[in-house]
Structure 1
């Protein structure tokens, strides 16, 4: 009876990850490999990884045929699965950091575009709101650019003032202390 209890304890022990868990992990590494291959060569050079893996990523980037590239990315993922969890976590963190930066930059550009469109469409009412948030802004210059951009829009002229207004707003909103 004593041996049966011991056998049951061993059997009830840790069997490791299930097949489903291993598959999910493999698919995550495959996705990570795809994301790595999509990066520019300059960005790949900045991501923390060993040189053999870096060379494999760069070789994968050079393959352009669709099926061959898919096979190469799978091969890359196979090599990446051999890396320790810390190395993969560093790569993942570097790529996620890039996504967050990109998202913040996109939000900032959308905010600038929003203000530019409001200034062109609403005129002095939108300018008063903008100046309430950013009292250091040059009221005359922004008003003139907004009016010129509005005229360009009405007359279907090239958007010179429209672009200049965007640049001025981008600089103004980037210089604000709260990031608005």
Structure 2
């Protein structure tokens, strides 16, 4: 009986499932590097919520202290990518995705308020009524005063101080 007689086709499938190409490993390492590069961009409160080891946390804090776009930062980011190999990348990715989703929602609200400001300044009473339908608790008198000032500045070509005040009021009303 030779050694090949003991070979079963099932053994070949087990080997195939464990085998990962060099290209696939490289893509996974690049993904970890990219994920690690997002971590220094987070603030302290967000970083505290990310599940990671102490070594990685210290490396991220060090990366935050370095000058952006420097050789030291590039090396530190590579080090963070290397440390990411020992971390649970799925949990870290989930936390980063959650922060990015919140940031995206904040931007959408911000853009909506900018559109309201432009619509109120350029528009007429129907636009004001549409806004008041959406925000019935707004101070109508104060809002009309802000609109008058913003329209006056726009017509005279003056700096947009009143327009900024209007936006600030809209932002306060939206609690953003």
Pairwise same-fold verdict (TM > 0.5): yes
Which deviations, in whole Å up to 9, do the C-alpha atoms of 1:95-151 show, x marking residues without a partner? 111111111111111111111111111131210211233333333322221111010
Residue in 1 that maps onto 2:86: 82
* C-alpha contact (below 8 Å) 1:123/1:147 kept by paired residues: no
Residue 21 (str. 1) matches residue 39 (str. 2): no
Residue 142 (str. 1) matches residue 143 (str. 2): yes
Pick which of 2-11 and 116-125 moved more.
Answer: 2-11
Provide closer, same or farther for how the CA distance between residues 117 and 31 of structure 1 changes in structure 2, counting only shifts above 3 A. Answer: same
Residue in 2 that maps onto 1:160: 161
Pairwise CA distance, 1:5: 6.1
Pick which of 160-169 and 118-127 moved more.
Answer: 160-169
Distance 1:111 1:60 in 2: 35
SS of residue in 2 equivalent to 1:170: helix
Give me the TM-score of the superposition, normalised by structure 1.
0.81
Which deviations, in whole Å up to 9, do the C-alpha atoms of 1:53-111 show, x marking residues without a partner? 1112222333436333222211221121122xxx3222212211111111111111111
* C-alpha contact (below 8 Å) 2:46/2:99 kept by paired residues: no
Give me the TM-score of the superposition, normalised by structure 2.
0.82
- Listed as ranges, the matches of 1:28-67 within 5 Å are 28-41=31-44, 43-64=46-67, 66-67=70-71
Residue in 1 that maps onto 2:117: 116
Which structure ranks higher in relative contact order (CA pairs < 8 Å, sequence separation ≥ 6)? 2
Structure 2 residue runs without a partner (length 5+):
none
Distance 1:63 1:163 in 2: 35
Distance 1:35 1:96 in 2: 10
Structure 1 residue runs without a partner (length 5+):
176-180
Distance 2:70 2:96 in 1: 23
SS of residue in 1 equivalent to 2:91: helix
RMSD: 2.5
